[in-house]
Amino acid sequence: MNNEKYIAALKQALAGMDRASREEILREIRSHLEDARDTESLEARFGPVAELAKQYLDGEPLSQGLSARLLNLGKAALLGLGGVALALVLLVTGLILFFSGDRFDYADETALAAEIDAVEWMSREWQGSIALEIEQAHTVLYWHDVPELHWRCKGRDILDPIPGSLLKIRHGYCLLLLPRHSATMKVSQSDVVLIRPRASVEASLDQASLRIAPDGDRNRYDFKSINSESDHFPSNPDAMTVVSVEARESTIQVY
C-alpha cells in the first residue's frame, strides 16, 4: 500500500473520531512524508492501518460503514438494557434477602424469646384447624399447647386473623405460634420455616422455599415434587403427625 492510500485508509478508519482529533492525527502522520531522507513507507513504519487506528481509538471498534455502525449502536442499546435489567435483578434479590434472611436461629427457642418480648406478641383464642395463604412473604411457624394463635408481623398491614377464615400473609415477615391443630398452607414465591411440627401440615408450594426443623422421629413426611428439590428427612412411617407437601418449582430443605 502506497503512502497516500495508507493515509486515506487511516482517515476512513478514524471516521468515528471527532474531526479535529482526526485531522491532528493525519497531520502527524503526513509530517513523516515531508522528511526527504525518509524513504520508508508509512505502512512499514507504523504497521497495518487497523492496528494503528486502534491505538488512537483506545481499543474502540473501527468505523465499518453505516450498517456496522447501526449494529454497534444496537449492541450498545442492548448492553444498556442489560445493565438496567441487572440492576433490577440485584434490587429484587436484595429485597428477597432482606425479607427471607434469617434474623436469628429460629430453632432456638431462647433466641426467639430474646428476639421478641412477650408483650409484642398479638394473640387470640383459636379452636380448630387453620388455613394459611402466604404470598411473597417470609413466615416462621411454631406450635404450642395453648389453644391460641400468637403472631408478630413486620413490613405489612396489621394481621387480624379471624377463626374459621383464611389467614393471608403477604409482603412481610411474620412469626406465628399455632395451636396444635392441623394446618393447610398455600405458599407462593415465599420462604416458610416449620419449627418441629407438632400438628399435621398439608402444604402446596409454588416457586417457594420450605425449610423444616424435624421433631426427632415424631413426623412422617410425604413429598410430591414437580421440578423441585428436597432434602432427605428422617420420616417415621408410624408417626401421627404428617407433613404432606406438593411442591412445584420449589425447594424443601432441612433447617
104 within a domain of the structure (yes/no): no
Verify that 142 and 57 share a domain, yes or no.
no
81 within a domain of the structure (yes/no): no
Verify that 34 and 115 share a domain, yes or no.
no
Distance set, CA 209 to CA 18, 62, 108, 119, 217 (Å): 55, 50, 20, 30, 23
- Give the pLDDT confidence of 202-235 residue by residue, as tens digits: 999 999 999 999 998 899 999 999 999 999 998 9
Verify that 123 and 234 share a domain, yes or no.
yes
What local confidence, expressed as pLDDT, does residue 21 receive? 81
Are the C-beta atoms of 178 and 192 separated by less than 8 Å? no
Host domain of residue 118: 109-254
76 within a domain of the structure (yes/no): no
> What value does the CA radius of gyration of the chain take, rounded to a whole number of Å?
34
235 within a domain of the structure (yes/no): yes
Mean pLDDT of 158-177: 83
34 within a domain of the structure (yes/no): yes
Query: CA 12, CA 49: separation in Å to the nearest integer?
Result: 10
189 within a domain of the structure (yes/no): yes
**pLDDT bracket for residue 239 (50, 70, 90):** very high
Verify that 238 and 154 share a domain, yes or no.
yes
Verify that 125 and 220 share a domain, yes or no.
yes
For residue 148, what are the contacts with CB-CB under 8 A and spacing of at least 6? 123, 124, 125, 126, 177, 179
Verify that 41 and 121 share a domain, yes or no.
no
The pTM assigned to this predicted structure is 0.59
Verify that 148 and 246 share a domain, yes or no.
yes
Number of domains in the chain: 2
- What sign has the CA pseudo-torsion 30, 36, 37, 42? positive
- Give the pLDDT confidence of 82-97 residue by residue, as tens digits: 556 555 655 554 555 4
Verify that 57 and 113 share a domain, yes or no.
no
Verify that 139 and 242 share a domain, yes or no.
yes
